[in-house]
Amino acid sequence: MGAVDIGFWDYPDTRPGYRDLRPIADDKEVLRNPHKGWYWHYIDNGYGRGNYREQHDPKDHCLDFPGLNHLYLRFDWGDIEAQEGVFDWSYLDNIMEEWGAYGYRFSLRACTYEASPEGSLAFATPKWVFDAGAAYTIQQGGAYEPDYGDPVFLEKLEGFMREYGRKFNGDPRIETVDIGSFGTWGEGHTGAGSDRVYPYQVMKAHLDLHVKYFPDTFLLFNDDFLNHRSRLCSNKENHQLLQEAAGYSNVGARDDSVCVDYYCKHCGYNTLRTPHLFDHFWKHAPIDLEFEHYAAVIAKPDNFRDGFPFLDALMRTHCTFAGFHGYPRPWLEQYPYFTEYCANRLGYWYFLPGLLLPTLQANKENQIEMMIENRGFAPCYWEYQGKIRLTDTTGKETILPLPSLDNRAWNPGTVSVEKLELDLTGIAPGDYLFSFGLFEKEQPISLAISNRYRDKDGFYRLAKAVVE
């Protein structure tokens, strides 16, 4: 298997058995696939805070929103463990049960400080942690900000992280978990709090806790872990922290402030403060970009600029997931085409431009070639299973698995040439319908092929095959 330049397709393949599949491609339909697309901030910084569901009709599950993949649940440690050792996940469980029934997945962030004292938010870190001796400062409005390196704080936090990981690590419903235990709103900075810059060892401690208790889940490292520290810390320390995070195969990256006013004024066109940071992550783990609050978009349309800076950021970072602070319905009504355009391109987007299917030999190993083009912004980081289906003239089907096929290697902007071995032992000579499907367990993955060629079981009918 290898990737070739897209220009390869500028001339026809004249090899016997080659099928040009470009005429059956469909780049108009918005596909709904797992592990990619848009998400909705359904809980935003704690149970006790007003969030983006005020306008929400409880019967509206936004199934018409193009590429809406998951709900983002950003909560506080104090929401879960109000008493030491007593964990209440019921609020999250109820959301997951309801929305999971409609095919949604979820991403999570557990925060320890909110720059707001509303309701229980003064104690995003539970009060009992401070009563046990953990150091803190009280910020404007009465919100308690922990000392993120305090040994008592870290000891109690690990107890929570242990249970957090036990609850959600490896859960197939979870797309990502943010490394959210450090900083204001879990963003990896203290800018709306003490503005204190912590040493490398403290930052690494928070990274390590998440890696320890979520070994089987993708984690997201916020760019502000480095951006805030860069004012006072050495480049050597920041580089060390970056290398630590990027060195884990299950750690990706996120930016919480795309098109925020400050970054629109002081950064490049795409408003990313450190766009090169994402180059360390995207080849092995997903990228997540969070857009400005919806109300701010309305108030400052010059920041949005019809979506082009955000689109540039999505492309630059090889983004898989994108979200915005706001209820999806008005967003979709105002930006339907932008939403649709991004839905397919976020993450992976698979086309099959060609197939080399020579005359096959019964009871032998046969080699075919399949060309797969990824027009999305990113690879897929989850493994899918490829299958060939041969259907004879009586309707009898034979399924041939493709264990050598690895969709995670199909990089964006490339055509991958997959040389596949088909064992036709026990297959009788004759004419067959040749179909291909890609699956995550039993769930079919939609390809950019016209639905006229798709069967209800997720296979795509591609060609006639002759077995001699």
378 and 338 housed in the same domain: no
97 and 7 housed in the same domain: no
Quickly state the pLDDT bin for 6 (edges 50, 70, 90): very low
Q: Residue 146 pLDDT > 60, yes or no?
A: yes
Q: How many domains is the chain partitioned into structurally?
A: 2
234 and 320 housed in the same domain: yes
Average pLDDT, the chain: 92
Quickly state the pLDDT bin for 45 (edges 50, 70, 90): confident
At 232 the pLDDT is 56
Q: What is the CATH number of the domain that holds 340?
A: 3.20.20.80
Q: What percent of the chain has pLDDT over 90?
A: 80
- Give the least confident one: 117-121, 365-369, 375-379: 117-121
Q: What is the CATH number of the domain that holds 415?
A: 2.60.40
At 119 the pLDDT is 65
Tokens of 33: 């696939």
Q: Which H or E run contains 287?
A: strand 287-293
395 and 298 housed in the same domain: no
What are the pLDDT digits (tens) for 177-202?
A: 999 999 999 999 999 999 998 999 99
320 and 372 housed in the same domain: no
235 and 382 housed in the same domain: no
139 and 173 housed in the same domain: yes
**Beta-sheet strands, E only, within 170-274:** 174-178, 218-222, 251-258
Average pLDDT over every residue of 161-170: 98
320 and 368 housed in the same domain: no
DSSP letter for 454, please.
B
Domain stop point among 320, 345, 370 = 345
| Choice between 55 and 259, residue whose per-residue pLDDT is larger | 259
311 and 386 housed in the same domain: no
237 and 369 housed in the same domain: no
Quickly state the pLDDT bin for 5 (edges 50, 70, 90): very low
At 229 the pLDDT is 73
At 82 the pLDDT is 96
**Residues in contact with 313: Cβ distance below 8 Å, sequence separation at least 6, in sequence order:** 255, 258, 270, 271, 272, 275, 289, 319
At 52 the pLDDT is 65
User: From the DSSP assignment, how many helices (H) and strands (E) are in the chain?
Assistant: 13, 20
79 and 22 housed in the same domain: no
Domain stop point among 323, 345, 367 = 345
Q: Residue 397 pLDDT > 50, yes or no?
A: yes
Distance from C-alpha of 76 to C-alpha of 113, rounded to nearest angstrom: 8
Of the candidates 364, 264, 366, 281, the residue with the CA atom closest to the CA atom of residue 17: 366
| pTM for this entry | 0.94
Distance from C-alpha of 444 to C-alpha of 459, rounded to nearest angstrom: 8
73 and 177 housed in the same domain: yes
Average pLDDT over every residue of 160-171: 98
Domain stop point among 281, 313, 345 = 345
| Choice between 19 and 56, residue whose per-residue pLDDT is larger | 19
Domain range for 253: 37-345
